[in-house]
Every structure is written in structure tokens, then in C-alpha cells.
Structure 1
Amino acid sequence: MRSQVLLALLPFLRTEAIRIIHANDDGWAELYTRSFHDVLIAAGHDTVLSAPAENKSGTASSDAEPSPRTTACQYNSCPANTNQPIGRNESSPRLNWVNSFPLTSMRYGIDAIAPPFWNGEAPELAVSGPNVGSNVYIQVHFSGTVGAAVFATKDRKVPAIAFSGLSSGNLAWNTTPIPTRSLVYAQVANKLVDAVVNSGKPYLPEDVFLNVNLPKVEGKCTDPNNFKFVLSRINVGLFSDKDVYHCGSDRLPLEAGVALSGDGCFVSVSVGDANDKTTAPKEKQAVVLNKLGGFFTCMP
């Protein structure tokens, strides 16, 4: 069944294949993450998942060495009493769990888990999520999904994208049939990955991450082709410097307003500063805008 789903997605998947490290904060067996992982693999990317053994939402940039696992992993996805700090799906060894926080999972993924798959090379891109639920404005500072992405770009100098989806409801990796929202989020997230990769290296400016919020999958927003991407900002900008000039203004729309607009299937894409998880300065916004060009649309 899963292979048939992936074959159905292949018309959407056209890009250069690269090495991608993948994490999240909802747990390694969460369906949104597994669907995205499947799409990245189907697109030809050399992708390795390294995510927490269980749901670790809201843990921000917490980091601690993983401890031996004594209970079963999320959704019984690993047996009890493994007594191991990290583990993997033996039939699909690119799927790995770390018994700690999202940031720790990203750290182990970059430093230890993924390199053997890549002959010791580093990842070219880090992705995190899609998170189950939004990560906008204040939520960004508490998000483990964002924390993992920020670590990748700030501490390991790997360009990173944090994805979140407003359609909530946690689901196990083996849920069948796969709900539309999980498939749609995977495809739409991959579109942005395509755009970033096809823009050429360096994919993003130094110490920058993209914070992406996808709207609810409902109505006309059940078709991946109807989603449109809007350049946005994370925090309110009343007292901050001007943004890059775009869509007739030097103040970008707030990501919360874009993703929660309820009309137009708009995806907010904010250029975040990895040093403080706020909006990056206009000079770095401009680099992203110049690279992605016509990929962005304007709000009505």
C-alpha cells in the first residue's frame, strides 16, 4: 500500500538528489514525519531520519545525552527493555530513534547516525517535521521542531527548514489508509525542498533557518497544487528594522496571519535568525527572496 502511494506521488517529485538529515519533535514513529520521509526518499534524496523515541513536543532547544530505553517506543515502535540509548528499524535502517530531545536527535543524526550512510560526508540540508500543529510567533521559541532545525544551522552549519502543519491530531506511522492531510503536507513540504535545492548552494545564508507553517488541509486545500507560498516574518515588527521590500511593502506579513488566514491555501515561510529564533534581518531575507524568486506569491 505504501509503495503504491509513493508511486502516485512521483509526478510531483523533480529535483536534484542530495543528502538530507531529518528530525522532528513528535517522535520518530509519527505519521506526518514518516510520510515526509517517504516522499523525500521517493524523490531520490539520500535521507536519514533521526528523531526522538517518543513525543517530545515543546522541549525547545533542550539537549541531554540519551539514556538506555526501558519502555517501548512511541506507538510500540520499538520493544521494551532494549536498554539502548539509540536504535533503528532493522528492516529500514534509515529510520532511527534517539532516547532524548529533538535537538539531541538532530545532533546524533548529524554527528553519528547518518555519516555511515554517506561515506562520512555531512548532510547538505536538514529538515524538521512536519510538526503536528502550528509553530508561529511565540510558539517558535518553545518548539522542539524549531530547536532541532536551529541547532543544525547554528551549531553544525547545515542549512535547515522547520515544517509545521496546522491540521492537528497525532497518528501512528502504520495508520491505514494514510489520511489526506499527512500525504498533502509531505508533498507540499517537498515542493519547498525542491525550490531551495534547485536554487543552488549555498541554499541559505549562514545562521538562517526557514520556519514554515502549512495551513489546514481542508476544502480546496486538499490538493497540493493549490498551495501557495508567502514570504513572512516570525515576530511582530513594530519596533524592528524594515524587512526586505516585497509585494509593495517593507514589512512582511506575520506568519500567524498567513497560515491562519483560512483562505487561499497560503503557506508562511519566514526567514528566521538562528541566534535568537526571531526574524532574520532584511539583508538575509533578501538573499532568500533573490534565490527563490517567483516561488513566492503575494497575499491578496
Structure 2
Amino acid sequence: MNNDDGFGAGNIREFYRILKEAGHDVLMVAPATQQSAQGGRSDFTTEANLTAPTQYGIIPAGAPSIGTDPNDSNIWYYNGTPAACTFVALDYVLPRYYPDWTPDLLVSGPNFGINAGPFVWTLSGTAGATYSAVERSVPAIAFSGSNPSIPYMNITNTSNPATWTAAISAKIVQQFVDATPEGAAILPLGYGVNVNIPVLESDTMPDVVASRMTGDADVDEAVYNETSGLFTWANIEPKAAGVNVCYNGDCSLPGETFAVENGAVSISVFTVDYDAPSIPYTKLVTAKFAPLVAGNGTTTYKKRAAAAAGGLKKRAVSSREMNRA
């Protein structure tokens, strides 16, 4: 479990609690401080000890830059970005302290605020924690809610938006688990899921829709302030065509931005294969640099590529065997 709001955020702590109560084995490795808008940036601290207290003063300055919550040894903090926390979990915490654990799923969030559309997806630390796991062959689901930020110690009952958002997230996790045969991977290799949850007025589960990332999605424009001489951002209107064109997936699905704005939980499926689809537009682009490819008469690349291809085949076999196990 990871996020970008910090290991003391109310949403992630409620998500953790509910999943544990449902019988799941859960390990949290999340940022020591708020790390929103980091995207997939993998930033590891250069300080062995904290130079300032962690979020909400849970851990004091001077403590190690990685450690556990005073009240729960399965809740870890690390003074790095969300993507870095994913890697620290996989390469340090799990092998050293949980050698018998193999992660079936990474869950990220629920974020304070939705992460809908391709532009926000590239900025989101919640997303970065998620696709970093997918790239490492670990199935992952990103969750984002519409509720405001709240420290976990300020949650005093179960009738609040943080708990409701976490409960819906847990139901979706359980659905994926229940729909997966014993011993099978929860998601295919290279696949991930993005979930966005609308504003909640109660613990009632809203409508759930299958969605796509493009469609009614926003992208920024720079807004200049003549008085201050500074820039800020705004969502460009009308919505930009470039961020909303649909080439991949089912173009008949509603965009996740539209779905959430109209009160539904959106579930979008993504892959980390960013290659363009095999359509005429792609052939049009490749044709533009075809003379350069055709004019490459050197043999050095071909020798190196052949050697690398052999290594890739071996690694691919290893990955498949790992997934079967």
C-alpha cells in the first residue's frame, strides 16, 4: 500500500484498517511527508536521517529516513517520492523484513482529489506509485477520492468521507480478488487499473461504470497575472482535442472525468505499453523517418540488437514463470 498524501493521511489509514479487518495481509510503505504531483519521479533521499519531522509530527526529526509507525510495525514511512516508496518496498522492506511475502497487488491511495484524464495521470504521485509497480510486474490499482484532506488521528468515527472512500476502495479490491482464480495473477502482466470516486454524501455505493482515461479530460493552460507578473494555471476551455482523442481501447466508453462529475465511480484499465497502435496514423508517422532507417548500413547495431534480444527472451521466460508461480 502506497500513496502520495503521506503515511499519516486519513484515507490511506482507513483503507489499511478496512482491508486488514477483511482478512488481507497489508504492508504500507508510503511517503514520510506529503508528496503530491510527483508523478513517476523516483527521488531517494540523500539524508540517512530526517531533517524535519514527518507528516503530523508522527516521527521526530533526527530519526532514520526509513522506519515504522510507533503503533504499527506494518506501516512504514520513507522520506522519498511515491515511486521511490514503491521501489523501497519491493527491494528493501519486503526482502529484508517480510521474506515470505510475495505481493499480489499494490494499491495506491485513495488520493485526496480525483486523478482523472491523461494530463492529471502524468502528474499524480498516486498514479506514479501505481505504474511503477506495474512496470515491476506487480499488479496495481490507483484509487482517488473527491474528499478533502484529513489527518488519520482526526477521524473519530466511521461516518465520514474518508472512511466511505476507503470502504468503496476496499469493495473494489475485494471484487478483483474474488474474481481471480486461486493462484492466478490479479491482473495480466503490464496492466493496471485507475479508480476515481465521486463526492460522497453517505456510505451508499454509487453507480460504477467502466470508463476510459480520455473523454472530457482537462489539460492546463498558463494564465498570466498582469499585476503580479506571475503565472498560474487553469483548465483550458474548450477542452483540448489532443488530450481527448481516442486511439486505444473502447472509444464508446465514457471518459472517467465525465463519469465522476456525474456521480459515478469510474474504473479505467491501462497498460504501461505506450507504443502507438497499428493504425494508418502510425504508419504515416513511421513513413516520415523511413529513409533514415533504410539508410542505416552499419552492422554494429544489428549485432548489439541480436545479443540484447537473446537476453530479453530469457528475461521474458523468467517473468512468465514467476507469474505462473
User: For the structure 1 residues 73 and 27, does the alpha-carbon distance in structure 2 shift closer, same or farther, using more than 3 Å as the test?
Assistant: same
CA distance in 1, matches of 2:78, 2:244: 40
Q: 167, 170, 179: which is aligned to 1:199?
A: 179
Q: Is the 8 A contact 1:152 1:159 kept in 2?
A: yes
Q: 2:246 corresponds to which letter in structure 1?
A: S
| CA deviation profile, 1:198-250 (whole Å, cap 9, x unmatched) | 111221122111110000012xxx123x3222110012386433634xxxxx5
198-207 or 73-82, which deviates more: 198-207
Q: How does 1:143-162 map to 2 (within 5 A)?
A: 143-154=124-135, 156-162=136-142
Does residue 33 (structure 1) correspond to residue 12 (structure 2)? The answer is yes
Q: CA deviation at 1:273?
A: 2.2
Shift of 1:65: 2.0
The correspondence of residues 94-133 of structure 1 with structure 2, limited to 5 A, is 94-116=74-96, 118-133=98-113
Q: Deviation digits for residues 39-64 of structure 1, max 9, x if unmatched? A: 11111111000000000000001112
2:83 match: secondary structure: helix
Q: Matched residue of 2:27: which SS?
A: strand
1-structure distance, mates of 2:77, 2:274 = 27
Q: What is residue 228 of structure 1 aligned with on the other side?
A: 207
1:103 partner amino acid: A
Counterpart amino acid of residue 69 in structure 2: N
Aligned match for 1:76, one of 39, 57, 63: 57
Structure 1 residue 171, shift from structure 2 partner: 1.2
Is 1:45 aligned with 2:28?
Answer: no
Question: How far off is 1:25 after superposition?
Answer: 0.1
Cα distance 1:272–1:91, how it changes in 2: closer, same or farther (>3 A)? Answer: same
Contact 2:54/2:61, CA 8 A, preserved across alignment: yes
Aligned residues: 243
Q: Deviations over 1:251-278 (max 9, x none)?
A: 110000001114xxx1000001224499
Cα 1:91–1:223 change in 2 (3 A) is closer
1:134 match: secondary structure: coil
Partners of 1:217 and 1:184 in 2: CA distance? 7
- Quote the RMSD (CA, aligned, Å): 2.1
Judged with a 3 Å threshold, the aligned counterparts in structure 2 of structure 1 residues 92 and 33 are, in CA distance, closer, same or farther, namely same
Q: Does 2:173 correspond to 1:173?
A: no
- How many percent identity over aligned positions? 30
- What is the SS of the residue equivalent to 1:23? coil
- Whole-Å separation in 2 of the counterparts to 1:277 and 1:143: 21
- Structure 1 residues 122 and 180 mapped into 2: Cα distance closer, same or farther (>3 Å)? same
What's the TM-score, normalizing by structure 2? 0.70
2:10–2:150 Cα contact (<8 Å) kept: yes
The runs of 5 or more residues in structure 2 that have no matched partner are: 216-242, 278-325
Q: Is contact 2:214-2:244 (8 Å) kept? A: no
1:69-109 Cα offsets, whole Å, 9 max, x none, are 12110011111221x22111133101110001001111111
Larger radius of gyration: 2
Give the secondary-structure state (helix, strand or coil) at the position aligned to 2:26. Answer: strand
Distance 1:87 1:197, change over 3 A: same
Q: Is the 8 A contact 1:110 1:122 kept in 2?
A: no
How do 1:206-245 and structure 2 match up within 5 A? 206-218=189-201, 222-224=202-204, 226-236=205-215, 239-241=245-247, 243-244=249-250
TM-score (norm 1): 0.76
Paired residue secondary structure (1:29): coil
Secondary structure in structure 1 of the residue aligned to 2:153? coil
Alignment match, 2:254 = 253
Distance 1:196 1:50, change over 3 A: same
| SS of aligned partner of 1:46 | coil
- Structure 1 residues 278 and 191, CA gap change in structure 2 (3 angstroms): farther
Question: Taking structure 1 as reference, are residues 217 and 120 closer, same or farther at Cα in structure 2, changes over 3 Å only?
Answer: same
More displaced, 105-114 or 53-62? Answer: 105-114
Partner of 2:295: none
